[in-house]
Chain A
Amino acid sequence: MSEKYTIEVKKRPWYEWLLWALWLLVSLFTLQNAVASGTELEPRAATIFWIVFVILVLGGGIVWYIRRDN
């Protein structure tokens, strides 16, 4: 008694990789500015950059989590 399984492998399209690369670059840029603004003694700028960075990371994480099995 044999059972047949069909495994469908969906390759991510190129533009999705591009979007993730863009997300990574923007996140790194924001992180650099957050850390550097702290050392520049610019607390408000640092806070804004940290908030943006956290939103970017959380947003990226959520998107990745939702799409991880697709």
Chain B
Amino acid sequence: MEGNKKRLSRRDFFRLAGIGIGSAAVVSAAKPMANPSDFKGGTFSDPAGRPNRPWWVKTVDEPTTEIDWDVMERYNERTGTVRGPGMAGYVGDDEVDRLSDVAKQNEKQRMLDDVDGYTLKDQALKSSHVGVGRSFLGPQKAKTPEDRGVPKWEGSPEEAARIIRAAMRHMGASSVGFMELDDNTRKLVYGVDPDGKDVIFTDDPIAEETEDARMVPNAAKYVIVYTVQMSTETMRRAPTPLASQTTTLAYKRGETIQASLQEFLRGLGYQCLAESSTNALGIAPAMAVMAGLGEMSRLNRLITPEFGPMVRVFKAFTDLPVAVDKPIDAGIMEFCKRCKKCAEACPSESLSFEDEPTWETRGGWNNPGHKAYFEDAVTCRAFWREQAGTNCGICFAVCPFTKKDKAWVHEWVKAGASTAPVLDSFFRSMDDAFGYGTQANSEEWWSLDLPEYGIDSNQPVMEA
């Protein structure tokens, strides 16, 4: 007995207590650590409402994607893209019809066979997301200052940026940035919208939409770019309808935010011109890069420091002057040079394996004038139809930047990748070793108690 008492000396007691307290602190810290964007509570420390980003996210004068503005031209989204009728331009109508038939047959057969991720309930969920509708000019139902008999809202560009950020975060946007249209950046605006209407800049101060064109006032030169987060836990079921429905949901949420934004700015006395259909008006990833929301990547899509590639990007033009943002360098493009995980995982081998980005495009679906990892959009889209039977998303799911926000190690790795590119290959190897990005069971998803929208984030709305 005496011996036992001696063993628990005061020193040992305090040591054990220290360990116990430390462990308790760690366990309690298993909830999300401080968000890299500092979205939680408090007030904006920046006059324009810019979030406090991690120290390793640096603002730069030029984006990490090299751009040759003299080569770049405004893109024809109607005929250039593989979305919609553009695909036929590359493979012919017969092939488009064949792919559609195969997709329909597979969809039905997989439902009948009860294939995980392709069952009726998965398809039903994917079909359930409906939006409020998109339009260039907006719903135009909100009362204007004129209707209320008051002058329109006035404030500095910083104040304007801040209140738009606050409003849009409240509407559900994950991040918001601003850029300005000048002679160069206007080239990121489509020359022709997906529905075939020309997008024309005009001296007329009031925006207008005709049967053939959408008229953008030169004064509406401020671009609001925003992201909507997708569910990482859902996307890791890619490629299935279950996984792709998080994309659909994000687009529909973006649609609702767009309408709300248009009405909010109308209520302030300003115009807000936005997407007439999904991905219309301009090149979203490029605008997001210019607005400092993220960097281009081997996916040839946007990767954000906060959410990785797990976002959908939207844009709107306004004549309310706002404080614009600068591009960022978070070491993402540099990491992509060594990683190649997405390219290795791509089942249709559509992503680039080049060590360095190139000026050479892969086809008309790419817009020349920037140095990028160009993808083969035709083989990608054909895989969607012929094999996956839905949007794919494997490249999003496996990307090492696609991480949830609970384990501290993710922030450390992102900081390390940003500051010590020599470690990038090691980080990629560890990403594999730790099992990140592996496909998860789709049927299991229906038993998960996921947070709102399936988003694993420490956004205030998720902290119930």
Contact = CB atoms under 8 A, between A and B. Distances in A.
A39 B28 CA distance: 12
B435 interface: yes
Contacts of B30: 32, 35-36, 39
B407 A36 contact: yes
Nearest to B431: A45
Contacts of A31: 23, 26-27
B434 to A, nearest CB: 4
Contact of A40 (B26, B448, B456): B456
Contact of B407 (A24, A32, A43, A44): A32
Contact of A41 (B23, B26, B233): B233
Interface in B369-406: 404, 406
Task: State the majority secondary structure of interface residues on B.
Answer: loop
A43 B19 CA distance: 25
A57 to B, nearest CB: 9
B56 interface: no
Given A41-B233, A42-B434, A44-B434, A33 B409 contact: yes
B434 A45 contact: yes
Given A39-B30, A42-B436, A33 B22 contact: no
Specify which of B26, B407, B435, B456 lies most central, judged by the most chain A CB atoms within 10 Å of its CB. Answer: B407
Contacts of A32: 26, 29-30, 407-408
Contact of A48 (B433, B440, B456): B433
A37 B434 CA distance: 10
A44 B438 CA distance: 10
Contacts, number: 55
A35 B29 CA distance: 9
Task: State the majority secondary structure of interface residues on A.
Answer: helix
A45 to B, nearest CB: 4
Interface in B422-464: 433-436, 438, 440, 448, 456
A64 B27 CA distance: 24
A43 B435 contact: yes
Specify which of A39, A43, A48 lies most central, judged by the most chain B CB atoms within 10 Å of its CB. Answer: A39
A28 interface: yes
Contacts of A41: 233, 440, 448
B35 to A, nearest CB: 14
Contact count band on A: 10 to 19
A4 B64 CA distance: 76
Contacts of B440: 41
A32 B27 CA distance: 6
A5 B435 CA distance: 60
Contacts of A45: 407, 434-436
B243 to A, nearest CB: 15
Contacts of B438: 44
Contacts of B404: 40, 42
Contacts of A42: 404, 407, 434-436
12 contacts: A28-B23, A32-B30, A40-B404, A41-B233, A42-B404, A42-B435, A42-B436, A44-B435, A45-B435, A48-B434, A49-B407, A49-B409
Interface of B: 19, 22-23, 25-27, 29-30, 233, 404, 406-409, 433-436, 438, 440, 448, 456
Given A32-B407, A39-B406, 13 more contacts: A28-B22, A28-B25, A29-B408, A32-B30, A33-B408, A36-B30, A42-B404, A43-B435, A44-B434, A44-B438, A45-B407, A45-B434, A48-B433
